[in-house]
Amino acid sequence: MKSLSEIETTVKRASKAAGYSWGVSEETGKSIRLLELFSLPGIKHLNEYFNQKNKSKFENLNLISENNSSSNNPYCPITLGVSFLDQINVLENLKKIEFKNVAYPIIFISFISRSSEIIGKKINVKIDEKKMLLNLNVNIFSNFIDQEFPKIANTIEVNLLENEDNFTDKEWNNLYKLSEETFVEESDSLKEGAAGAGLTDND
Amino acid sequence: MKVELRDPNKIMKLSRLGSFHQSKLSFLRSFLNEFKEWEYKRDLFNLNENGFGEAVYSFKKNKRVYSLVCFANEIKDEERSDRVIATKWDAAFTLHDGVPKKKDIERLKNEVPKQEVGRLSYKELTLSRANKSVRIYNHVVESLSKGQQPDLNLLSKVGYLYRTTAVYGSGKFGLADRFRIKNREEINGPFRLEMMLVYLVRQFTFDQVNHVAYHKNPKTAVKLDDDICKNLGIGNSTGLGMAPFIVNHPTLLNNWILSREKALKKIREIKDVESQDSDLFIDCVKKSLKNITSWNTDSEYQQTKITSLLKDVEKFLNFINKDFNFEIEYPFNKIYQWLEDNTCEECIEYIVSIMMEPYNNIVNPLVKEMSSDEEKYFNIPTHRKVEELRNIIEEKYPNILDINFEEKENNKNFWFISKNKEEPRLADRFEEHGSELEQPLAIARDIKKLYEKLLVSKNSLTIAEFLTSNSELRHVVRRAFIVEKFPYSEIQDNTIGKDLMPIDMLRLKLSFFGALKFDPRSDKWLRICMFQGAPLPNELKSYDEQWVYKTNI
């Protein structure tokens, strides 16, 4: 088994050899390492992408907006990913961002996952009909983990989620009530000796 | 009195970093301190009469066990090489996490001797190999087999029986990634498991010579005297492979240097020094003279440095004896100022190291600050502005900005990874091919390029916007934001100029390891000695902390 350190170093060097700058190659190394840590096919898709890159053209999107579409060639997932990562503080103000025609979307996903940690918000991603929930770069949930990841995504929809509970008030209150059963009723004499008791707050 | 931390623009120059010496902060000393309460055991010693076979040594505490698995192999003299291109070694080692089962040892027997072309697993933590110092090894075996102890004069010329030629860790060749074990308290210090491996290898070398000498002549053989063992260490041959490490791990480098600087600052701020502390300090300086006079090297470069060091340390002792009174206020501050005014860089850093000896209360907490969670500082704060980045560079890299990289001599070398061995190398860009594949280690040149770009960019641009058209500078943008927070994270020197002495970079790292007797064999590789004078494993529970200044050979 390859260690994550070997994966990161080799991806960094391979990305440089594929034509990216050292700085972008470092980012790619980190991102693919993350995918492999989460048991997602980072190496496999990067390998296929670099093979394709020699034969086909891919578009570089440097400035991301609400709707991004490449009508001719698919977007390069690395340039797109680095742009997303760099611009996340601005993109955070948008609720939904859409990308049309993205090559090897799983590579792009790794950069979005890292962005989720930077802004401290969960991110929902829909790749055509497939869904992923990126949880602050701690894990990635998906409804198609056992299926082959697409090589081209027609549409990627990115939703930045507000920090909200994913349970109801009722569910919380029920649980809280149960937790109260570990508390002990205080006697009057104990209350008199508690912090702040017996003093005036105007002293 | 408040003493300022020393200026990174002075301390992070290569000539100063290349003058660093071991100290109480060094990893081999903090390793011994951490593991002194652990139970040491030789679990397996299955060598034939010629000393070839397997052995296992372990440290154990509660349920945690670290086991060194050793494989001693027969090789021909012509196969023995310290160079990284070697494919066979006298012995190969791995540190296994836990107690190795029989099938683990079988698996490791197949892989460990192959080193870089073998595959290890997440159950192994470090990997190494070593070659005999043949003349010393043979002499020791011969003497012991005849019932005599070896010639100390000969031993003092080398100082070890074996020298390692590489020690690998952190995920190399399938070894466990650092993240798997980083929360273990006992290894909360850099290179602790690498130090454990080297320390246990040292014991293996003693056991092996005793074993071979006994089988050579069971009737007359004696064991190598414990005092002699103690005064032998483990050698190490180190080349350029180590140099890029300190460039590639900026926050870690910062934490090493910052700990040293904090220790010095706190010691200089001590108003009244207890007499027992000043006595210990002076005693260590005096006893350390032996380390200087027994420091053998054929390198003219190092000989010159040793001569100045010896002269300046003697001058310092003279000053302390005749003109100095420890009863004044802030005596160590006065000493430091005197050193800066009167001695060479090598001597300043030598005495700075020894100043730490009396102060466990200052040093020990700093040992825990010497690791780094590098991932935390990887992301570039792209919301910040061009103006801020320019200000950071002007403040943090003032001398770098003065270098003219248009001049050939400042842009002479390039770092690359050799195809043969995947190891870093340095070459003249005007004479060798391959500079288009240069590694991103010319930080000074690239910082200057970045600065020049920033000068013609709008102040109000965000870094994200700047990077859309300056991707080739991304790696140094990241570094500049790191140095903003970590002042000692960057070498403030040109790592590609004609005057570069790469061994300064090796020396810096090795001093933090705790190496002694740097012996440059060229400007690109050197030999060192580790653990010379260190307590033996069965002495760890109670040992003299200043052992490093008390070697007898």
- Report the 3 state secondary structure along B361-386: HHHHHHHCCCCCCHHHHCCCCCCCEH
Q: Contact A3/B174, CB-based, under 8 Å?
A: yes
Task: Quote the ipTM score.
Answer: 0.89
Domain residue ranges in chain B: 8-23+247-369+506-514, 36-239
Domain residue ranges in chain A: 4-160
Residue pLDDT, tens place only, B487-507: 999 999 999 999 999 989 999
- pLDDT over 70 at A197, yes or no: no
Residue pLDDT, tens place only, B186-206: 998 889 999 999 999 999 999
Tell me which residue of B203, B202, B219, B91 sits closest to B144, measured CA to CA: B219
Handedness of CA B27, B32, B35, B40 (dihedral sign): positive
Residue at token pair 């020791």: B140
Question: What value does the mean pLDDT take over residues A193-198?
Answer: 68
How much of chain B, in percent, has pLDDT values that exceed 70? 100
Residue pLDDT, tens place only, B16-39: 999 999 999 999 999 999 999 999
Question: What value does the mean pLDDT take over residues A86-109?
Answer: 96
From the list B171, B382, B383, the residue facing A6 with the nearest CB is B171
- pLDDT over 80 at A201, yes or no: no
Residue B351: its pLDDT value, please? 98
Residue pLDDT, tens place only, B381-390: 999 999 999 9
Q: Touching check for B175 and chain A: CB below 8 Å?
A: yes
From the list A3, A23, A89, the residue facing B471 with the nearest CB is A23
Question: Is the model's pTM score more than 0.90?
Answer: yes
From the list A5, A20, A62, the residue facing B170 with the nearest CB is A5
Question: What value does the mean pLDDT take over residues B119-132?
Answer: 96
Residues A154, B135: Cα–Cα separation, whole Å: 70
Residues B191, B126: Cα–Cα separation, whole Å: 10
Question: What Å distances lie between residue B206 and B113, B175, B211, B237, CA to CA?
Answer: 20, 27, 9, 20
Residues B232, B74: Cα–Cα separation, whole Å: 23
Q: Contact B468/A62, CB-based, under 8 Å?
A: yes
- pLDDT over 90 at B179, yes or no: no
Residue A202: its pLDDT value, please? 65
Q: Spell out which chain A residues touch chain B, with contact meaning CB-CB distance below 8 angstroms.
A: 1-6, 13, 20-24, 26-27, 30, 62-63, 82-83, 85-90, 114, 118
Q: Burial level of B117, CB count in 10 A (0-12/13-18/19+)? A: exposed
Q: Contact B478/A63, CB-based, under 8 Å?
A: no
Question: What value does the mean pLDDT take over residues A76-102?
Answer: 96
Residue pLDDT, tens place only, B354-380: 999 999 999 999 999 999 999 999 999
- pLDDT over 90 at B468, yes or no: yes
Q: Touching check for B379 and chain A: CB below 8 Å?
A: yes
Residues A73, B83: Cα–Cα separation, whole Å: 49
Residues B413, B427: Cα–Cα separation, whole Å: 5
Tell me which residue of A80, A31, A46 sits closest to A60, measured CA to CA: A80
Q: How confident is the model at residue B54 (pLDDT cuts 50, 70, 90)?
A: very high
